[in-house]
Amino acid sequence: MKLTKEQLADIKNQQSQVNSTKRVTVPELEKILYEAIPALDHGFVRVVDYMGDDTSIVQSARVSYGKGTKQVSTDAGLIKYLMRHWHSTPFEMCEIKYHIKLPIFIARQWIRHRTANVNEYSARYSILDKEFYLPSQENLAAQSTSNRQGRGDVLEGEQAKKVLEILKDDAERTYANYETMLNEKYDGSTIDDTRKGLARELARMNLTLNTYTQWYWKTDLLNLMNFLRLRADHHAQYEIRVYADIMLDTLKKWVPITHEAFIDYRVGGTEVSSKGKIILKKLIKGENISLEDSGLSKREWNELMEAFDLKDKLI
């Protein structure tokens, strides 16, 4: 990721601000506030604002007047209780705002999480940067044979090289055509003084989906965790997982007690159906039970066995 001199100056200016506030602040998050944390080849994640901390969750749950009336250990116990029993409202009392630069195809996947306030860079108003996402060779993989939305074996040798050439050539060519239609170069210069350019809202439709866009993305803590639970998971697409992992680290800096409970109960925990509970109880007692007797599908059965590392019972 390479930032322009203007972007670096803007970040430095933001970070040099000194403001007095009576609101709660989080020293660890303040250290990285406004910083552009690299993601993929040209992307980044920036925390640009936040409201609340762990004590705000506790305050909301107890409907109390202030913080510091209970020990931290007691606060941690309450937050764990809230997380364990799916009490969601107190986590909605904290909010965070990110500035994110990401490929368009990841933005289209990301926007499916409709519980955030989003304002995206307007290609109707401005010209998109001449930057495209090109995956590293180890992230070029064939279509999975068992999962319609997943990846299989990594491509190698000439095939991988050819795919990368296609991705780069298509992106370069369509961007050049984009500039031609606009009659304007990326640096702002005019291509031909004798003709008009196509409207930006029309010229943009020719760009490839690996072109980078930017947006501001603001959400509350509850919905941030819902997003991270899905997108920081190893089943998630690699590219969006890169962003989710960075945001997971900002979550730890922002609300460390909540982060610990989230990792314990949401990321590391396992949901079990009522039929699954019956099966596990029988297995604990040493009883034999088969897929046919379980009432589960083969896929449900295998997911249950994998979750509890009972690999000898996979079918």
173 is catalytic: no
Residues 46, 200, 204, 231: which is the catalytic one? Answer: 231
DSSP the chain: ----HHHHHHHHHHHT-----SS---HHHHTTTT--EEETTTEEEEEEEEE--HHHHHHHHHT-S-S-SS-HHHHHHHHHHHHHTT--GGGGG-EEEEEEEEEHHHHHHHTT--SSEEEE--TTTSPPPS-B----GGG-EEEPSS-TTSEEEEP-HHHHHHHHHHHHHHHHHHHHHHHHHHTB-TTS-BS-TTSPPPPHHHHGGGS-TTBEEEEEEEEEHHHHHHHHHHHSSTTS-HHHHHHHHHHHHHHHHH-HHHHHHHIIIIIS-----HHHHHHHHHHHTT----HHHHT--HHHHHHHHHHTT-GGG--
**Active-site residue set:** 231
